[in-house]
């Protein structure tokens, strides 16, 4: 099986490539990534010389490049996306271009060569929950940010290619991921790295917004299962069944690193900040036998330890020095 993985130098994509190459000795991976601000080839340094792996620097909006790569693969696993809500509020244009137009470009190539297509989406497309209930595959779409609106549009486009063209697609909508290699603008790595640098942690508003947390390795296992055994044309919701307020996450990190509440700084809340997300994963559990292998407590400890042990990695990101790694190789 040869996979074309888009956005494979990012957080979830790089973890997925590691997972696939470790689990499937007969798989090959082509990693297509433009190396924008959160794409980091250092995430994949340990497999650079693996003959089953090939990196291609390029844009998913490049029609000819995508066509050439799609022709030479068995399946497309589409991670590539602009993904930070705050950035989408400041400027939505890159989100429309990458998340919508880039997805259409990939879909057209997949249709042309009749390739299996799997799309990684988010629970944010469903909007905000009250204090009860969970998102599921039949939940109505109600995106509240430019980021989630662009992902929702892509969900609909992917599904439309199944209904209109018979393209063999699947979609997964996941909850908040955490783990190694996450860009340190996201909540958990930002808070861990801030504390390791002696800084405070910025908590939006009252800190009572709730998210369902999913360890990235468990997510990768779910994608692998859906790719190989999922029903064509179907969507699968993937969550960790670990609902936590932002304050609960904050206190957990403070405890692991030996700090107190004096390190918390409450800041003005994000515009349109959804109150609660939660995922009902019963479909993928019952149909495909998936379930998270990591408890939240153990996975959080592993995550915090990873950032403690890999300070050079995130310090280079925070200073921008990590870009030198690929400038040397690609002269850009």
Q: What is the CATH number of the domain that holds 314?
A: 3.40.50.720
Rounded to an integer, what distance in angstroms lies between the CA atom of residue 237 and that of residue 257? Answer: 33
The predicted-structure confidence for 96-141, as pLDDT tens digits, reads as follows 999 999 999 999 999 999 999 999 999 999 999 988 999 999 999 9
Per the confidence metrics, is the pTM higher than 0.85? Answer: yes
Specify the number of domains making up the chain.
1
Interval 143-196: pLDDT, tens: 999 999 999 999 999 999 999 999 999 999 999 999 999 998 889 999 999 999
**pLDDT higher than threshold 70 for residue 325:** no
Instruction: Residue 136: name the closest of 241, 220, 238, 273 by CA.
Output: 238
Task: Read off the tokens for 280.
Answer: 């009902």
Range of the domain at 190: 2-330
Kind of pairing between the strands at 243-245 and 210-215? antiparallel
Dist. CA 26–CA 148, nearest whole Å? 35
Q: Which residues are catalytic?
A: 123-124, 147
């Amino acid at each position: 099986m040869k996979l074309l993985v888009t956005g494979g130098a990012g957080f979830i994509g790089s973890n997925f490539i590691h997972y696939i190459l470790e689990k499937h000795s007969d798989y090959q991976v082509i990693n297509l990534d433009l190396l924008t601000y959160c794409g980091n080839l250092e995430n994949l340094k340990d497999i650079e010389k693996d003959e089953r792996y090939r990196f291609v620097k390029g844009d998913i909006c490049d029609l000819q490049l995508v066509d050439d790569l799609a022709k030479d693969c068995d399946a497309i696993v589409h991670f590539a996306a602009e993904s930070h809500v705050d950035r989408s509020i400041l400027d939505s244009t890159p989100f429309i271009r990458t998340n919508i137009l880039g997805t259409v470009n990939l879909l057209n190539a997949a249709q042309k060569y009749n390739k299996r297509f799997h799309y990684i989406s988010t629970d944010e497309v469903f909007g905000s929950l009250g204090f009860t209930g969970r998102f599921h595959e039949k939940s109505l779409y109600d995106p509240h940010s430019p980021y989630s609106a662009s992902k929702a549009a892509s969900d609909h486009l992917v599904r439309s290619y199944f209904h209109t063209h018979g393209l063999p697609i699947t979609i997964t909508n996941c909850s908040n991921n955490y783990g190694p290699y996450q860009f340190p603008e996201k909540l958990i790595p930002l808070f861990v790295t801030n504390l390791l640098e002696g800084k405070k942690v910025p908590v939006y508003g009252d800190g009572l917004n709730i998210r369902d947390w999913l360890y990235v390795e468990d997510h990768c296992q779910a994608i692998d299962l859906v790719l190989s055994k999922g029903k064509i044309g179907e969507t699968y919701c993937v969550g960790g069944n670990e609902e936590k307020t932002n304050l609960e996450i904050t206190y957990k990190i403070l405890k692991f690193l030996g700090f107190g509440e004096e390190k918390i700084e409450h800041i003005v809340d994000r515009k349109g900040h959804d109150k609660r997300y939660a995922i009902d994963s019963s479909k993928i559990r019952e149909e495909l036998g998936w379930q998270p292998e990591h408890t939240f407590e153990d996975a959080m400890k592993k995550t915090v330890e990873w950032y403690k042990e890999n300070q050079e990695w995130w310090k280079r990101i925070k200073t921008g020095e990590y870009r030198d790694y690929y400038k040397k190789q690609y002269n850009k």
